[in-house]
Amino acid sequence: MADSSDYTPPKVWTWNKESGGRFASINRPIAGSTHEKELPVGRHPLQLYSLGTPNGVKVTIMLEELLAKGHKGAEYDAWLIKIGEGMQFGSGFVEVNPNSKIPALLDRSGPKPIRVFESGAILVYLAEKFGAFLPTNPAARAECLSWLFWQMGSAPYLGGGFGHFYAYAPSKMEYAIDRFAMETKRQLDVLDRRLAESRFIAGDDYTIADMAIFPWYGGLVKGWLYNAAEFLSVQDYKHVNRWADMLLERPTVKRGRMVNRLSGEPSSQLHERHDASDFETRTQDKIAAKG
């Protein structure tokens, strides 16, 4: 195995150099805001401050699902937070999420705005607010929440572990890639076995557990994450592939994936969403055509 023992940690860690790697410029060892910046507010009850990453997409899929079910109170403005430019450290954003990470939601439908951060908490909040996609029967609810929290606990090994060391770290370190590839494949196998016995993640019904897991593990088997499909032999996870293909058929999932997205086909990128018609008129290809 390649050796990387050329580093001896000092007695006390200090922040005195850039760590290298793709996100070096935004990584900091301290919390809080770096600059004063109010957040914009649109006309809808729900204000989402986000980006089209897997964590952001969970919420836009949920909002599109709620709207498709006829919940008008789920109308939302989706504002773009460019994390590569440090917008998550603006004072207004930090007031909505003290953890400075997308997604963050402000519900302005009541007398006092309610802030919600952490994508899992946002999904539960919306599911309870609208009475949808979270079963009320105790056994089904427990299964759904178990898988939702499984995702919240597991994806950091996929993203912060495997994805970071395989795709973003300044050098390839066999030990780290090996450790996190093993864990990622184990997680895919957990899902594959579950989906061999169950149509959706939590049972017969589509729930917030599917919406949370799909952007990460569906994205992984579809080859959207870290260019790692071949490396991880994702085609072996037949049931995860079956489930991901089924979800991808949903127009709501297609729309949710477009919101706040900054990469891919221009026609698939809707940088901000302020109206349902934006999907027809404000994607990047349409904006470019208008000149």
Ligand X SMILES: N[C@@H](CCC(=O)N[C@@H](CS)C(=O)NCC(=O)O)C(=O)O
Residues found near ligand X in the complex (CB under 6 A):
26, 53, 55, 83, 88, 100-103, 118-119
Radius of gyration of the chain (CA): 20
Number of H helices, E strands in the chain: 11, 4
Tell me the CA distances in angstroms from 237 to 9, 222, 278, one per residue in order: 40, 11, 36
Tell me the CA distances in angstroms from 24 to 19, 120, 169, 206, 235, one per residue in order: 6, 26, 10, 38, 33
**Measured from the CB atom, is 160 or 251 closer to ligand X?**
160
Alpha carbon distance 99, 120 (integer Å) = 14
**Measured from the CB atom, is 53 or 184 closer to ligand X?**
53
Residue 176 Cβ, how far from ligand X at the closest point, in Å? 19
**Measured from the CB atom, is 99 or 109 closer to ligand X?**
99
Residue 220 Cβ, how far from ligand X at the closest point, in Å? 14
**Measured from the CB atom, is 120 or 135 closer to ligand X?**
120
Alpha carbon distance 130, 228 (integer Å) = 37
Residue 121 Cβ, how far from ligand X at the closest point, in Å? 8
Residue 290 Cβ, how far from ligand X at the closest point, in Å? 30
User: Which of 125, 76, 45 is CA-nearest to residue 134?
Assistant: 125
Is the peptide bond prior to 251 cis by the omega test (within 30 degrees of 0)?
A: no
CB 81 within 8 A of CB 88: yes
Alpha carbon distance 170, 172 (integer Å) = 7
Residue 11 Cβ, how far from ligand X at the closest point, in Å? 27
**Measured from the CB atom, is 34 or 268 closer to ligand X?**
34
Residue 119 Cβ, how far from ligand X at the closest point, in Å? 4
**Measured from the CB atom, is 41 or 121 closer to ligand X?**
121
Alpha carbon distance 71, 75 (integer Å) = 8
Residue 103 Cβ, how far from ligand X at the closest point, in Å? 6
**Cβ within 8 Å of residue 90, ≥6 positions away:** 33, 34, 35, 36, 37, 38, 39
**Measured from the CB atom, is 83 or 287 closer to ligand X?**
83
